Structure 1
Amino acid sequence: MKIKTKLRLGFSLLFIIILILGALSAYYLNKLSAEAKLVLKDNYETLEYTRLMLYELDKSDFGSSLNNFERQLIKQESNLTEPGEQVLTVKVRHHLEQLKATDTLNVAKHQQQIRASLNKIMDLNLKAIIFKNELANKTAHSANLFLIFWGGICLLITFSFIVNFPGYIANPIKLLTEGIKEIEAKNYNKRLSFTSKDEFGELAQVFNSMAQKLHDFENSNLAKILFEKKRIEAIINSMNDGVIGLDEHQHILFVNPVALKLFGLNENDLVGKFAPDVALKNDLLKDLLNNHVNHELKIYADAKESYFKKEALNILVPQSNLYPEKNIDYAFTNIGSVYILKNITAFHELDEAKTNFIATISHELKTPISSIKMSTQLLKNKQMGDLNPEQNDLIESIQDDTHRLLKITSELLNMAQLESGHIQLNILPASPIEILDYAIQATKTQAEQKQIKFEINYSDTVSKVLADKEKTAWVITNLIANAIRYSHEQSVINVKMLETTKEVKIIIEDQGQGIAPQYLDKIFERYFRVPGTQKEGTGLGLAISKDFIEAQGGNISVDSEFGVGSVFTLTLVKSFS
């Protein structure tokens, strides 16, 4: 029998028990209600009619009360419920008719007869009320006994169901859970023995089949697994990069020869050891395990200084994957990590050659470009002769291109200095107000050409900052020039300065086109220019600005809303000397 059928039968039994109790309760309640209704309605009304008739009969002037008496008698005649009540009522009617027709001398006689008949009617109904009350009590007593009997039986059946039925469901599940735990512990000899021919029996058969297949799989694939392990070890050992593997408890599992050479240790000094303990005596391993160390590592290898990049990979495996054909998301468990030391010396040498090349070319170009600029200034000098309008336009075009080339070569030189680490910073206490005023004056002419106004807001008591005055002025000038370039004509650029406990912030806010959200995290990258903008510049200004400020211990950030404008925030460290 299936579990579903057993559940249905069990709950159906409970439903039938509840239905029987409810039906019996309703039956006896209706019976008691009907008997009580008879007592209250029929007999009580008869007593009320006879009481009123006696009241009218006892009046001194019965003649005036005769009509009231007869109305009550008519009501009584229509409410005859007990045996013998009709005969007595007919006698009352008979005596009443005689009373109406007799003389005054016989009135008392007929009244006495009527009173006797009414008293008998009252006595008859009182006895009926007592009898029906006894009958109702008997019915209530029988109902109580019957309901107690059936309630006890139902209680026993329900209690037996509550005690035994959960065990029927829970015990096989408990055994199945224990079996699964054994399989999880790789005890593939575990078997379940359910004798029932229901879903639990089928589940036990499937479980036993699965355990047998896992047992066969483990035994049949052991040699293959060992072969694959040796092949993976051969691949790792043949890699040109240093590789070291750790388990989830940070014990070293393997180290390839390249890594051994870099660490300067033997395999026996590493494999099987707790990595943090070894790192106490080996700085390279300490940097490798430190998740906060992401910079290039300089290591003496191959008889020269070499550069390596660290990569850390966490090895995650699904907790359960018995049904790979089903599209099910599994929780993953970390079983260890692999650290790779990639040799990037060749790339580093190429980058250094590129930097030297750019520095050399920029330096060599700067002198002839400066000469061209000087020559154009001499040509515009009236002492050299007057120029016609076409010549004047040509000279101005040459000057604009010369200015742009000088700016490009200056930015390339700055970038080369930054990349080579040869940048010279003269960090001293400086007034941020003087730096900001210089930048505003330097861009004033550019702003007037587009009729752009500055709204400047800062306190005259702003503290000094630790900065290279020349480099910082160049950065702020570059930021304001960008704000002017990308602002609409006749707009406003807000420049303000805020001071906190440890920092001074210079905020430059424009009302230009803004920067699209997808480009915000790229604008400080070298050579990046927002698509669709003017083709002016090299895309190096913001990258160099960021490097200059960060080299001074500061920070530069941007917040922009496309179509509204951009806000650049320059943060400098306060000077407390």
Structure 2
Amino acid sequence: MARTIKARLTLGLSFLFVIILLLSGVGAYFLYQLSRSSAATLQDNYRSVAYARAMSDALSDVREARRAGPAAEVVRAEAAFRRSLRAEQGNITEPGEQELADSLAASFGQYVAQAAAPAGLYQQVRGQVGRVATLNLRAIEQQSLRTRRIANRTIGTLGLLATLGILATVSFIFSFPDYLTRPVEELTAGIRRVAEGHYDQRLPVRAHDEFAPVAQAFNDMARRLEGYETADGTPRIDSSGPLDLVTSHLRPGSAPDAADDLARRRHLATQLQRQARQLQRTADELATGQAG
């Protein structure tokens, strides 16, 4: 497959896209891990803590209503406790929380079943409510530590990937333009040397390269121009045109006409100057296009 300029640009932009995609993908993955590991679980734990606080308040209301309040207040306080207890039983998130909630329900049933419940049973129910809250608060703390560890690992991983990405991008910035414009620079330099009269200049012809035909055409042109000089440096002249190889030239010992020889030399000089100016203009145009 020929390495065209379009293909090289596509390759370079694809490399940058992969770097950006890698950083974005890793960042999104760790953010997803943070969100998944903390949001839902912490929300349930906070709810359990709120239910435990509501049960503690309702238990205190039951005790006060039993001492001095009417029976309706006792019933209202007991109903409030049971609502919070049912909510807690439907929001089990931690190991051992289900057993603790069932034990709390049994203890509260014993407490309300006795008209004059002993103080020890009241303290038992309150202690179980406190353990429900403590269990969920400890889970919140552990989840916070786990989230912090994930965050630290995320920062380290993203920092490492960002450093590697920056180094790769900087290397790409300095190397890719040279990789992209090297054939144009070689062609420009070759044209300038030919314009200066160095007809032995040749360009490397790389297989599967977009500029391979151009380099081959340049080498053919330089080879033909080089053929316009004899081995001893004497120009070969042909009246049919500057790019045709002369089939005959003066042999040693011949006596050329001086005027005819001078005219031929002037004609050759004019043709070479025209070719040199044309090559120079072409080189300048390529250099200008490359700079732009």
How far 1:145 moved relative to its partner?
1.6
How far 1:195 moved relative to its partner?
6.0
Task: Classify the secondary structure of the residue corresponding to 2:117.
Answer: helix
How far 1:109 moved relative to its partner?
3.6
What's the Cα RMSD here? Answer: 3.0
Alignment partners' CA distance in 1, 2:57 and 2:205: 86
Task: Classify the secondary structure of the residue corresponding to 1:73.
Answer: helix
Q: Which amino acid aligns with 2:17?
A: F
Partner of 2:2: 2
In terms of mean alpha carbon deviation, does 204-213 or 12-21 score higher? 12-21
Partner of 1:67: 79
- What percent of counterpart residues are identical? 32
How far 1:87 moved relative to its partner?
1.3
CA deviation vs aligned residue, 1:324-362 (integer Å, no higher than 9, x gap)? xxxxxxxxxxxxxxxxxxxxxxxxxxxxxxxxxxxxxxx
Q: Is the 8 A contact 1:188 1:214 kept in 2?
A: no
Partner of 1:159: 170
CA deviation vs aligned residue, 1:401-442 (integer Å, no higher than 9, x gap)? xxxxxxxxxxxxxxxxxxxxxxxxxxxxxxxxxxxxxxxxxx
Q: Is the 8 A contact 1:191 1:207 kept in 2?
A: no
Query: Unaligned regions of 5+ residues in structure 1, if any?
Result: 231-318, 322-577
Alignment partners' CA distance in 2, 1:95 and 1:120: 14
> Greater share of helix residues, 1 or 2?
2
**Alignment equivalent of 1:81, drawn from 66, 80, 93:** 93
How far 1:201 moved relative to its partner?
4.0
Alignment partners' CA distance in 2, 1:160 and 1:7: 16
Q: Determine whether 1:117 maps to 2:117.
A: no
Partner of 1:43: 45
Larger radius of gyration: 1
Q: Determine whether 1:193 maps to 2:197.
A: no
Alignment partners' CA distance in 1, 2:31 and 2:167: 24
How far 1:171 moved relative to its partner?
3.0
Alignment partners' CA distance in 1, 2:13 and 2:166: 14
Q: Is the 8 A contact 2:58 2:81 kept in 1?
A: yes
**Alignment equivalent of 1:25, drawn from 27, 32, 43:** 27
Once the two structures are superposed, the pairs formed by residues 76-225 of structure 1 within 5 Å of their partners are: 76-103=88-115, 105-106=116-117, 108-183=119-194, 185=195, 187=197, 189=199, 191-194=201-204, 196-197=206-207, 198-216=209-227, 223=239
Alignment partners' CA distance in 1, 2:77 and 2:211: 89
> Greater share of strand residues, 1 or 2?
1
Alignment partners' CA distance in 2, 1:199 and 1:148: 39
Alignment partners' CA distance in 2, 1:174 and 1:6: 16
Q: Which has the higher contact order (CA 8 A, sep 6+)?
A: 2
CA deviation vs aligned residue, 1:92-120 (integer Å, no higher than 9, x gap)? 111121122111x2164433211100111
Q: What TM-score do the two structures reach when normalised by structure 2? A: 0.68
Alignment partners' CA distance in 2, 1:146 and 1:88: 41
How far 1:210 moved relative to its partner?
2.0
How far 1:196 moved relative to its partner?
3.7
Alignment partners' CA distance in 2, 1:31 and 1:107: 50
Once the two structures are superposed, the pairs formed by residues 76-475 of structure 1 within 5 Å of their partners are: 76-103=88-115, 105-106=116-117, 108-183=119-194, 185=195, 187=197, 189=199, 191-194=201-204, 196-197=206-207, 198-216=209-227, 223=239
Partner of 2:251: none
Alignment partners' CA distance in 2, 1:175 and 1:130: 67
CA deviation vs aligned residue, 1:297-321 (integer Å, no higher than 9, x gap)? xxxxxxxxxxxxxxxxxxxxxx969
Q: Which amino acid aligns with 2:180?
A: I
How far 1:45 moved relative to its partner?
0.6
Q: What TM-score do the two structures reach when normalised by structure 1? A: 0.36
Alignment partners' CA distance in 2, 1:195 and 1:115: 90
Task: Classify the secondary structure of the residue corresponding to 1:3.
Answer: coil
How far 1:173 moved relative to its partner?
1.7
Partner of 2:288: none
Alignment partners' CA distance in 1, 2:205 and 2:163: 34
Q: Which amino acid aligns with 2:202?
A: L
How many residues of Structure 1 are paired with residues of Structure 2 in the alignment? 230
Q: Is the 8 A contact 2:89 2:98 kept in 1?
A: yes
Task: Classify the secondary structure of the residue corresponding to 1:191.
Answer: coil
CA deviation vs aligned residue, 1:135-194 (integer Å, no higher than 9, x gap)? 1111111122222222222332222222212112223322322223344x4636152332
Alignment partners' CA distance in 2, 1:212 and 1:159: 41
Alignment partners' CA distance in 2, 1:159 and 1:73: 62
Distance 1:186 1:149, change over 3 A: closer
Q: Is the 8 A contact 2:199 2:225 kept in 1?
A: no
